[in-house]
Structure 1
Amino acid sequence: METGGARERRDDGFSLLLPVYAGDDAGFLRLAFASSVLEQSQPPAEVVIVQDGPVPGDLAEELRRLAEESPVPVRLVVLPENRGLSEALNAGLAVCGYEVVARIDADDVSMPERFERQWRLIREGYDLIGTGMAEFERDHGTPGDVRVPPVGARRIREHARTHNPFNHPTMMYRLAAVERVGGYQPLGKMEDYWLGVRLIVSGARVENIPDPLVGYRVGSGAFSRRGGWAEARTEWRLQSEMRRIGFITTAQYLRNVVMKGAYRLMPASLKRVLFRRFVAGGLPGDRAV
């Protein structure tokens, strides 16, 4: 088990940050780990797994096995109680031994060339690199909808005023840039969006690879979970924060509050159609990088 604290970080590799909590599936975790560590053309130098509170026996056993058998060093950070994703990620960042960190969730899948392609751009001086991702329900070998992110600093900045410009499980970033803007901050399920906005405002160099280098597991109720009053309130809070730091104007704030509030409260079937039409498909002119 690892504890937090300042560390001298290396720049000849990157850390993989993987949060786990009681609701995760041991089999999905095994697949996420294998795809992001064992099957990568450029694997991470270390893996930092954060166990966010107590977990069931099969998941605890899988974590133990991964830590003991992985050819890549594993740092297991165990939080005594569930503290939520933001605190779990910050606890993991505190023990990362490398200046660059990549993210993956415990139920997603990385394509074999993912980190090699992101690392190449990080070495060119970028602070944050995201990628496209392909949704799947059961078999990542038969992907469904592809979420194509915006490419280029201008498109990313404009996109961020209405939607998250980065697919959150695909991020690779410089830890110093993230620390400068205050790390992850609690904001419902939008902590990654808020982090991306703060990085953009800080002047960080950001880019996306539009190709789907991550398989994103979704269930049949995914669009239902993106709705309701709790999600709408989180959305409104995010809009308020973006207006507070001057990232959006008052007019943009009012537009977003109305449109996004309506989106969060509409039926899941209509929400899915609109998401595919206006968010997942990317923008005309996006190119591979």
Structure 2
Amino acid sequence: MSPFVSIGLPVAAEPPAYLRDAIRSVLNQSHQDWELIVVADGSSAKTVDYLRSFRDPRIRVIVHESSRGLAARLNEIARVARGEYLARMDADDIMMPERISHQLATLAASGADLVAGRSVIIDEDNAVRAESVLAPPTVDLASMFTSTPFIHPTVLARTSWFREHPYDETLLRCQDKALWITSAADTRYFRDAEPVLFYRVAGDLNPAKFARSARFERRIVRRYGPGMIGAGRTAVVLARSLVKQGVVRAASLTGRAEAIMRRRYDAIGEAQARHWSERLAASIAPTPAEMNAQTPDVSEETS
């Protein structure tokens, strides 16, 4: 019998402790009619052995010795998924226990084709730091060119939607931004106000990494902008992207990167941080039969 929901988890070189928490958060879902498709994209033998140590028959591990990149693996997940619905997930993030059940209900109630949620920001040590910014439920086309409208690993839609709207495998970064733009004409999007994921963000703002992503974003804007938002607005978006890249570089050089990071998220108080910390602990609580007896204690591993 086919599962109701497929959860796609591409894996590259994430630390085993991150993988453990990500997979535990799937095992701890309130909705249990799922399959987890883990695709190892050129991962090390140590990572593959760890992934195969899970003994839940709902976990499918697909191993590739060579890397083809995120977009190719996401398209592969959509092709092999057996569930009616498909949820995105990343190997360094953690799902809240009600994520799948809540998003299935939200998708049905909203009448949308694709739903995405908010997230709680955590750092490398699972410390709660902030919440993602609350955005309007509907998505304006022009806004997709100035910012990415969804937190990628919070997305859920019918599996058929992902098959009909594949990722562009020529893009090494920002594949999701291109997908949302190119699919907007025939897709009803819905942004839910409820956090459904603990989203891991590095403490340091890497200007080189930011610049690489910005270059891919500008490539997407140049490709689709003139025909969708007009040449004038496209030029403005490109100019702002270059300015933002310069600001990030300057902030990094002057020690003000943390201030830039804080502006991207909503601050939370101590009580809210405690609440989310308790939710996080529930999400990654060990399950009785999650791993075999030979699985190492990954809390001591770094890669």
TM-score, L = length of structure 2: 0.77
Range moving further from structure 2, 74-83 or 174-183: 174-183
Deviation at 1:274?
Answer: 4.9
Contact 1:177 1:199 in 2 (8 A): no
Cα distance between partner residues in 2 of 1:262 and 1:44:
47
Equivalent residue letter for 1:18: L
The reply on whether 1:27 has 2:17 as its aligned counterpart is yes
Aligned equivalent of 2:156, options 151, 159, 172: 172
Partner SS state of residue 165, structure 1 = coil
The reply on whether 1:163 has 2:147 as its aligned counterpart is yes
Cα distance between partner residues in 2 of 1:128 and 1:272:
33
Cα distance between partner residues in 2 of 1:158 and 1:73:
40
Q: Which has the larger radius of gyration?
A: 2
Cα distance between partner residues in 2 of 1:273 and 1:242:
32
Contact 1:226 1:264 in 2 (8 A): no
Q: Give the structure 1 partner of residue 188 of structure 2.
A: 205
Q: Give the structure 1 partner of residue 84 of structure 2.
A: 99
Q: After superposition, where does 1:57-136 map in structure 2 within 5 Å?
A: 57=46, 59-66=47-54, 69-70=55-56, 73-124=58-109, 125-136=111-122
Contact 2:118 2:133 in 1 (8 A): yes
Deviation at 1:232?
Answer: 3.3
Aligned equivalent of 2:37, options 21, 28, 48: 48
Q: Give the structure 2 partner of residue 3 of structure 1.
A: none
TM-score, L = length of structure 1: 0.81
Q: Give the structure 1 partner of residue 204 of structure 2.
A: 221
Cα distance between partner residues in 1 of 2:165 and 2:45:
35
Deviation at 1:139?
Answer: 4.2
Aligned equivalent of 2:214, options 225, 229, 232: 232
Structure 2 gaps, min length 5? 267-303
Structure 1 gaps, min length 5? 1-8, 282-289
Deviation at 1:123?
Answer: 3.0
Q: Give the structure 2 partner of residue 193 of structure 1.
A: 177
Contact 1:149 1:280 in 2 (8 A): no
Range moving further from structure 2, 255-264 or 172-181: 172-181
Deviation at 1:271?
Answer: 6.0
Cα distance between partner residues in 1 of 2:193 and 2:94:
16
Range moving further from structure 2, 181-190 or 96-105: 181-190
Contact 2:38 2:59 in 1 (8 A): yes
The percent of aligned pairs where both chains have the same amino acid is 25
What do the CA deviations read for 1:178-204 (whole angstroms, capped 9, x no partner)? 222334443232011111222222x21
Cα distance between partner residues in 2 of 1:272 and 1:185:
33
What do the CA deviations read for 1:99-139 (whole angstroms, capped 9, x no partner)? 21001111111111111110112334421111111221144
Cα distance between partner residues in 1 of 2:169 and 2:229:
19
Contact 1:31 1:109 in 2 (8 A): yes
Distance 1:273 1:160, change over 3 A: farther
Deviation at 1:92?
Answer: 1.5
Cα distance between partner residues in 2 of 1:147 and 1:212:
8
Distance 1:89 1:261, change over 3 A: same
Contact 1:156 1:207 in 2 (8 A): no
Contact 1:16 1:44 in 2 (8 A): no
Aligned equivalent of 2:232, options 234, 251, 262: 251
Q: Give the structure 1 partner of residue 130 of structure 2.
A: 145
The reply on whether 1:18 has 2:9 as its aligned counterpart is yes
Distance 1:182 1:110, change over 3 A: closer
What do the CA deviations read for 1:249-268 (whole angstroms, capped 9, x no partner)? 21221111111122123324
Contact 1:150 1:156 in 2 (8 A): no
